[in-house]
Structure 1
Amino acid sequence: MQLYNTLSAREREKLIEDAGKDRLTISFYQYAHIGNTQIFRNHLFIQWNDLDVLGRIYVAHEGINAQLSVPAENFQAFKAHLDSISFLENVRLNIAIEQDNKSFLKLKVKVRNKIVADGLNDDTFDVTNKGIHVGASEFNNLIEDPNVVLVDMRNHYESEIGHFKNAVTPDVDTFRDSLDIIENDLAEHKEDKKLVMYCTGGIRCEKASAYYKHKGFKNVYQLEGGIIEYTRQVKEQNLENKFLGKNFVFDHRRGERISDDVISNCHQCGKPCDTHVNCANEACHLLFIQCEECAKAMNNCCSTDCMEVHALPYEEQKALRKGKHASNKIFRKGRSEALIYKK
């Protein structure tokens, strides 16, 4: 029985183009106790592969975290399958604001130790004692309160291209890095301030809110459904949008425009720009911000060294990469010394 991808990303891209059918980009998460994660993972893969679902899904004993793309014509069948799973019945689905049929090109369902790498020992605190969830309207009112500290729970490269006005945006590379930094920076306000948090879709705030309550913060709030759900409610309810710029997303789109504001700069020339790209040199693959002019001048690369490698025949590039591991820990998303105007 097939439990893995049989098509390359390029082959899948061609099939999507030939099909000419609309797809929906969706994300959701749910904390729940999953006994046999491998069996559950295999069940999802079999069912969703038949529905032509593509995406990146993490399964752990603590729950599921899913970012995926499904053909619009199969959405109801997909939703019916979710509802057939007790802990996923009527789960909130964050549907992308800007659709792209090629947001995902493979179906990857992976078993992990956690659905978000938070570095926390969940046995040391009550993970169910979460903060107060608020919708867009209440969130807008809340963040105008002078006794509120608004904190962005995302990483530096996410908040760089978009964030809420007056938010604290920790200069961190990972979610786990932010937890202690935020606690230390706000230690004197555990009782006299309201801690209001937000992230992309809400999952990071679910765990963080319980952690901060455990750490002594008395008034903890979180934006229900994150920036994605906030934007939907703002449009539906005709509310004032208080988010500036783009919302970074973890698929091939890399960002959804929420407002016309461009609050970041090209990392190579410094002109206003909020387009994230990956270096075309596959041995590097650095995530950084690059304008169209620099992309043309640099052949979609982050440095002259990468340009030289990228210009080599493909087989020579493969030979140079052999035995070497390029990871986010090495390149630290936009932190490269080759980038003159990095944050």
Structure 2
Amino acid sequence: MQLYNTLSAKERAQILEAAGEDRLTLSFYQYAKVGNVSLFRNHLFIAWDTMEVLGRIYVAHEGINAQLSVPAKRFNEFKEFLDGVSFLKDVRLNIAIEHDLKSFLKLKVKVRHKIVADGLNDDSFDVTNKGVHVAAEEFNRLIEDPDTVLVDMRNHYESEIGHFKGAITPDVDTFRDSLDIIEEDLKDHKEDKKLVMYCTGGIRCEKASAYYKHKGFKQVFQLEGGIIEYARQVENKGLENKFVGKNFVFDHRRGERISEDIIAKCHQCGAACDNHVNCENEACHLLFIQCEACASKMDNCCSDDCKEIIKLPFEEQKILRQGIPNSNKIFKKGRSEKLKFKK
């Protein structure tokens, strides 16, 4: 049986457009002990491929981390499948605020060493001794307390377009980078301050809260369900929204608008803008912020060099990008010197 995609992203996009059926974008995670990871991976792929589920899913011995696009008409079937897996029964699903037919264009279920690259030795501390989970209403009360330190556990390109008011937003490229920086910056307040953390959907805070408790922080809290669930509760309960801007998401949408505030700027001209794009040059593929005017002027490229490359015949472009590994550097390259108005 085939356990891989047979359609290209372009072919899948055409099929989704032709069908025109509603799809739900959602995410979930669960830490659990998974024995045979490869078998679990194959089980998920076979079931979800049949349901026309698309997305990016990481499985490891420590659990699962999933971002998905599910046909709306098959959501109940999808939920029943999850409930049939012992450690996924009633798992919290973070349903996106905004939906898109093409948020994901392939089903990728990958085996990883960890479901989040945290660089931590889990044997060195109790990963189950987590911080206190708080919902949106309690979170709002907490962050108004002068004895609270609010920390964004995401990376620079995420917090640049949106964050909670008053939050510390570490200027880091990876989650692992932020852990030691935050501990050092707050080392004098391990006992007298409340450490409140948040991230996109909650998964980074699960591990970070246990890590900081291990490091001696006495009062550790984390936003239940992350920014995604916070936005939903704010809307449903009529609460004050303390998040400004967009929430960066890891699919083709690249962001969900949580407030009308635009707190970032185009990396090329400096105009108010919070739309992330990838450079049209496949050998670059740089993630950066670009306004519509610059997109038109630069042919969706990050630089004049890339603008010239995309004019070349396709075969010449392929030759130029041979041996250029960029997949793991895309986000770091947001600091490229080619960008005049980068953060």
| TM-score, scaled relative to structure 1 | 0.99
Secondary structure of the residue aligned to 2:334 is coil
Per-residue deviation, residues 176-229 of structure 1 (Å, max 9, x unmatched)? 000000000000000000000000000000000000000000000000000000
State the 1:329 CA deviation. 3.0
1:282 aligns to what?
A: 282
Q: Following the alignment from structure 1 to structure 2, what is the Cα–Cα distance between the partners of residues 107 and 133?
A: 31
Per-residue deviation, residues 38-89 of structure 1 (Å, max 9, x unmatched)? 0000000000000000000000000000001010001000000000000000
2:273 aligns to what?
A: 273
- 1:293-304 alignment to 2 at 5 Å? 293-304=293-304
2:86 aligns to what?
A: 86
Matched, 1:195 2:195: yes
Q: Unaligned stretches of 5+ in structure 1?
A: none
1:217 aligns to what?
A: 217
* Contact 2:286–2:330 (Cα < 8 Å) also in 1: no
Q: Following the alignment from structure 2 to structure 1, what is the Cα–Cα distance between the partners of residues 330 and 223?
A: 32
Q: Following the alignment from structure 1 to structure 2, what is the Cα–Cα distance between the partners of residues 119 and 306?
A: 34
Aligned length: 343
- 1:293-332 alignment to 2 at 5 Å? 293-329=293-329, 332=332
2:138 aligns to what?
A: 138
State the 1:171 CA deviation. 0.1
* Contact 1:161–1:247 (Cα < 8 Å) also in 2: yes
- 1:172-191 alignment to 2 at 5 Å? 172-191=172-191
| TM-score, scaled relative to structure 2 | 0.99
Q: Following the alignment from structure 1 to structure 2, what is the Cα–Cα distance between the partners of residues 204 and 122?
A: 14
Secondary structure of the residue aligned to 2:69 is strand
State the 1:29 CA deviation. 0.1
1:100 aligns to what?
A: 100
Greater CA drift, 320-329 or 142-151: 320-329
Matched, 1:117 2:117: yes
Q: Following the alignment from structure 1 to structure 2, what is the Cα–Cα distance between the partners of residues 214 and 326?
A: 35
* Contact 1:157–1:333 (Cα < 8 Å) also in 2: no
Greater CA drift, 124-133 or 324-333: 324-333
Per-residue deviation, residues 279-308 of structure 1 (Å, max 9, x unmatched)? 000000000000000000000000000101
State the 1:239 CA deviation. 0.3
Q: Following the alignment from structure 1 to structure 2, what is the Cα–Cα distance between the partners of residues 328 and 322?
A: 16
Per-residue deviation, residues 121-150 of structure 1 (Å, max 9, x unmatched)? 000000000000000000000000000000
Secondary structure of the residue aligned to 1:316 is helix
* Contact 1:59–1:112 (Cα < 8 Å) also in 2: yes
Residues 97/168 of structure 1: CA separation in 2 closer, same or farther (3 Å cut):
same
2:239 aligns to what?
A: 239
Report sequence identity in percent. Answer: 77
Q: Following the alignment from structure 1 to structure 2, what is the Cα–Cα distance between the partners of residues 159 and 6?
A: 36
Q: Following the alignment from structure 1 to structure 2, what is the Cα–Cα distance between the partners of residues 111 and 88?
A: 18
Per-residue deviation, residues 6-61 of structure 1 (Å, max 9, x unmatched)? 00000100110111100000100000000000000000000000000000000000
Q: Following the alignment from structure 2 to structure 1, what is the Cα–Cα distance between the partners of residues 43 and 341?
A: 46
State the 1:328 CA deviation. 3.6
2:4 aligns to what?
A: 4
2:21 aligns to what?
A: 21
* Contact 1:209–1:222 (Cα < 8 Å) also in 2: yes
Q: Following the alignment from structure 2 to structure 1, what is the Cα–Cα distance between the partners of residues 335 and 76?
A: 42
State the 1:327 CA deviation. 3.2
Greater CA drift, 60-69 or 326-335: 326-335
* Contact 2:59–2:114 (Cα < 8 Å) also in 1: yes
1:252 aligns to what?
A: 252
State the 1:333 CA deviation. 4.0
* Contact 2:161–2:245 (Cα < 8 Å) also in 1: yes
